[in-house]
Amino acid sequence: MTASDNTVTINGGTASSAFGGFAYLGGMAGPATATASGNSVTLNNGSLNNIGGGFVSSMYLPGTHSASGNTVTINGGSVFGDVYGGYVTAKYGRADAINNTVTISGGSVSGWVYGGWADGSTGQATGNTVTISGSPVLTNARLYGGAAGDGVTDAFSGNSLNVKTTGLTVKDVYNFQYLNFYLPSTVSAGDTVLTVTGTADLTGSSGRSSTVNVGIEGSSSPLQAGDTITLIDAGTLVTNSGLNSSASGTGMQGVTLKYNFDLTTESNKLLATVSAGTTPTVNEQSKALSEGFVSGMGAVMQGADVAAAQGMDSAVAAAKAGGAGGGGAPVGFGALSGGSVRHNTGSHVDMHSVSLMAGLSWGADTPSGRLTVGPFVEYGYGSYSTYNSFSNAASVEGDGNTRYLGGGILGRMDLANTGPGHIYVEASGRGGGLYNEYESSDLRNAAGRSAEYDSSSKYYGLHLGTGYVWNIAEDASLDLYAKYFWTRQEGDSVTLSTGDPIDFKDVDSSRLRLGSRVSYMVNEYLSPYIGAAYEREFDGTARASTNGYAMKAPSMGGDTGTGELGLVYTPSASVPVSFDLGVQNSVGKREGLTGSLQFKYEF
């Protein structure tokens, strides 16, 4: 007999009892099996005597009978009797009530609240969870993680009580291996989280003890050393020597700050005190938040590369093709670049992005050489994934997307030939707005919310370059160049979805690139090229703080070597379109084998 994956929702009215799933065996020949699993019942309003997620009854049959993975949610209304996440009664068989959940955020309960109830010749009521938040009325309620008849051997292991509110009053607390206190942003030193008018028993069978954990919402002001919070104020508090003396070592404020708590008992009270002589420490996992912020800089840096390479080449070629030799009418130009880049930042960020620009260029012949100048607009979009691993904490992954919109001006002077080639100098300046969205489901606060933020900031930068184009043969040239890039992404102050305040500082990128490229014109349609470059990033560090405490900072600083192969294809000399297909292999701070398809269209 199986009752699985049923759903009941109650929005009003009055009923005796409501169960998500009900499995009943009434015969006497066996053995047989009865199971209630994956059922859920939700009370939003109305009145009930009893409510249960999954109910199993086997009167006389031997066998294994279970209620598992069932859920009860009470958002409002009244329960005058009892609440069962899972209920199993099997007088002559095995009864297992495991991994059931009861969540209460409103309404009232007057009876007993069981994560799991098991009554059989053997069995268990383990791994069940009771979670309480909001302001429900539970003054007469008795909370049990697991409850058992005479034959059931374990009603303690893995049962959890999650308290996500303060000022809560209940009658009794029994059979929870884990008591997790999630303190809301309104908590302050001296507050009482849970009042138990009867007995709060923090022990299990065979001398076992409960484990107490403490969490703090992110928008709280940081607690100070010596601040004390009363976790439980009981009529009778039962503990033993196995009770942990610290809150599992740390208490968490949001996802960014950690506290060391000392746990003590005093006159039927369980107290949590911020350890003396200590200050909050920044959770090292919070570095992942800055990985998201610096990813925006990665996209803006790609835009700088496009402006200094494809954009510059397109502007020069467009002005030349437009016949603006004497400073005539402006000519349109554009460039597009897209690809995938991994930035090693201490961990790494994988960025998939596209950057494009379009503008107008003027060309003029001067006594010193050929001058090209052009204003442009630019846009870029990228999606990224961040990966962080830590020696003393779980790994954190995140995802996001970023986009920028701005404009600038570029210019290049190709000096008159000196020897077998000519020198050129170039520069560009740009600025605009950068927008970034980041989310990590691996960073969650005490209430289970994942860390998310949106940020917006200005960016601006410049590049300066010089080079020598050496005509090594009639159809071949060697370009030796040096380019310097400076880019700033202004900081931003954000509040995470978890409540943590984060202040991102300005991020500055300072790069020097030395490189060369050999180009060979096979004919008027095909021009293959090969090149290599070395780049040094002198900064690229994303600094940030939370509540005045500095967070670990990822950095893009370091060396990168890049080799490239490519082919420029011009379909026709009379059609102002060319395509550039390239493959780049980078090692160092930016690494991996990437491909790019770029085109130029001279309007």
pLDDT for the residue 63: 81
Specify the range with the lowest mean pLDDT, choosing from 9-18, 21-30, 294-303, 479-488.
Answer: 21-30
Per-residue pLDDT tens over the stretch 389-432: 988 788 999 999 999 999 999 999 999 888 899 999 999 999 99
Measure the CA–CA gap between 487 and 308, rounded to whole angstroms.
Answer: 13
Specify the range with the lowest mean pLDDT, choosing from 221-225, 311-315, 473-477.
Answer: 221-225
- Percent of the chain at pLDDT > 70 equals 91
pLDDT for the residue 592: 76
Does 327 score more than 80 pLDDT?
no
- Percent of the chain at pLDDT > 90 equals 59
**514-548 burial by CB neighbour count: b if 16+ within 10 A, else e?**
ebbbebebeeeeebebebebebebeebbbbbbbbe
Per-residue pLDDT tens over the stretch 517-568: 999 989 888 889 999 999 999 999 999 999 888 999 999 999 999 998 988 8
Does 151 score more than 80 pLDDT?
no
Measure the CA–CA gap between 380 and 491, rounded to whole angstroms.
Answer: 19
Specify the range with the lowest mean pLDDT, choosing from 82-86, 326-330, 495-499.
Answer: 326-330
Selected residue with higher pLDDT from 46 and 323: 46
Selected residue with higher pLDDT from 280 and 99: 99
AA letter at 432: G
pLDDT for the residue 90: 86
pLDDT for the residue 320: 79
Report the 3 state secondary structure along 43-97.
ECCCEEEEEEEEEEEECCCCCEEEEECCEEEECCCEECCCEEEEEEEEEEEEEEE
Lookup: tokens for 289: 């938040």
Specify the range with the lowest mean pLDDT, choosing from 75-79, 310-314, 414-418, 507-511.
Answer: 310-314
Measure the CA–CA gap between 296 and 37, rounded to whole angstroms.
Answer: 46
Burial of 207 (0-12, 13-18, 19+ CB in 10 A): exposed
Three-state DSSP class for residue 584 = strand
Does 218 score more than 90 pLDDT?
no
Measure the CA–CA gap between 196 and 192, rounded to whole angstroms.
Answer: 11
Q: Residue ranges of the domains in the chain?
A: 2-286, 302-600
Q: What does the DSSP assignment read for 290-301?
A: HHHHHHHHHHHH
pLDDT for the residue 334: 82
Three-state DSSP class for residue 420 = coil
Nearest to 582 by CA among 558, 569, 598, 600: 598
Q: For tokens 């009770």, name the residue.
A: 243
Per-residue pLDDT tens over the stretch 334-362: 888 888 888 888 889 999 999 999 999 99
Mean pLDDT of 436-441: 95
pLDDT for the residue 474: 87
Does 248 score more than 50 pLDDT?
no
pLDDT for the residue 249: 44
Specify the range with the lowest mean pLDDT, choosing from 88-92, 265-269, 403-407, 425-429.
Answer: 88-92
Confidence of residue 328 (pLDDT cuts 50, 70, 90): low
What pTM did the predictor assign? 0.73
Tell me, what DSSP letter sits at residue 206?
A: G
Fold of the domain built from segment(s) 302-600 = Lipocalin (2.40.128)
Confidence of residue 451 (pLDDT cuts 50, 70, 90): very high
Confidence of residue 34 (pLDDT cuts 50, 70, 90): confident
Lookup: tokens for 22: 């009900």
Mean pLDDT of 158-172: 94
pLDDT for the residue 552: 92
Q: For tokens 């009797």, name the residue.
A: 81
Average pLDDT, the chain: 88
Does 375 score more than 60 pLDDT?
yes
Query: Which whole-number Å values give the CA distances from 159 to 8, 98, 181, 492, 598, in the listed order?
Result: 25, 9, 14, 42, 59
pLDDT for the residue 533: 95
Burial of 378 (0-12, 13-18, 19+ CB in 10 A): buried
Q: Which of 132-136, 249-253, 328-332 has the highest mean pLDDT?
A: 132-136
Mean pLDDT of 165-191: 89
Lookup: tokens for 552: 């670990």
Count of residues in the chain: 603
Confidence of residue 220 (pLDDT cuts 50, 70, 90): low
pLDDT for the residue 338: 80
